[in-house]
Structure 1
Amino acid sequence: MKNHIPLQVECDGDQGPTAVRYHDKPLRVVARLEYWHDTGCWWAGESEKHFYRLILEDQSIREIFYDLVEEEWFLYKTYD
C-alpha cells in the first residue's frame, strides 16, 4: 500500500472514530458514512485494515483506516 499519513484518532468502543487529529488540529466526527474491512493483497504481505468514511466538523469527507498489524490509524483519502 502507498505511504499514508499517520493520524491520532479517538474512538468510542464499537462506535468507531469520534475525533481525528489532522495537521495537529483536532476535528470532531459529525457523521460516519461507511465502515468496511479489507484483507488487502495478503499474498503480497498486506495486512487487514478497517476503513471508515467520515464527515468531520470542518465539513471535509475523509477515509481513514486502522492497520491491524501496525496498530495505527492512517489517512487513506480526502474528498474535494
Structure 2
Amino acid sequence: MSRIVRRPIAVSRWRDGEPLVFQDQETVRAIVDVIDVWFEMGCWWMGEGERKMMRVWTEDGGMMDLEEDAGQWFIYKIWD
C-alpha cells in the first residue's frame, strides 16, 4: 500500500546528480539504495514537461518515490 504526498524536500548531499541525503520537514534522511529510475511525461498540452522519478530505500527502512520537477525535488509517494 502507498500514499501520495508530493511534498518538497531540501537535498543537502548529491551523488552523480541524484539526491544522497535530504531533509523531509524536520527529518534528515539518507538514501542507501536506488531501486529504480524512470521518467514520466506531464500533460504536454498544459505545458508540463518531463519529470524524473526515483524509487529509493532510506537508512531508516523507508521506501519512497522521489520526483524532480523543474529542478525542485519532492517526496511523491511513500510506500507502507
Where on the TM-score scale, by shorter chain, does this alignment land: which range?
0.7 to 0.9
Residue 24 of structure 1: how far off its partner (Å):
1.9
Whichever structure has more strand as a proportion of its residues is 2
Task: From the superposition, tell whether residues 3 and 57 of structure 1 become closer, same or farther in structure 2 (CA, over 3 Å).
Answer: closer
Gaps of 5+ in 1: none
Gaps of 5+ in 2: none
Among 23, 28, 44, the alignment partner of 2:46 is 44
Residue range with higher mean Cα deviation, 23-32 or 40-49: 40-49
Identify which of structures 1 and 2 has the higher relative contact order when contacts are C-alpha pairs closer than 8 Å and 6+ apart: 2
Task: From the superposition, tell whether residues 67 and 61 of structure 1 become closer, same or farther in structure 2 (CA, over 3 Å).
Answer: same
When the two chains are superposed, the root-mean-square deviation of aligned CA atoms in Å is: 1.8
TM (normalized to structure 1)? 0.82
Residue 37 of structure 1: how far off its partner (Å):
1.1
Aligned pair count reads 76
TM (normalized to structure 2)? 0.82
Task: From the superposition, tell whether residues 49 and 25 of structure 1 become closer, same or farther in structure 2 (CA, over 3 Å).
Answer: same
Give the percent of matched residue pairs that are identical in Structure 1 and Structure 2.
Answer: 28
Match of 1:58 in 2: 60
Equivalent pair of 2:32/2:58 in contact (CA under 8 Å): yes
Runs (4 or more) in structure 1 with deviation over 6 Å come to none
Q: Distance in 2 between matches of 1:45 and 1:52?
A: 22
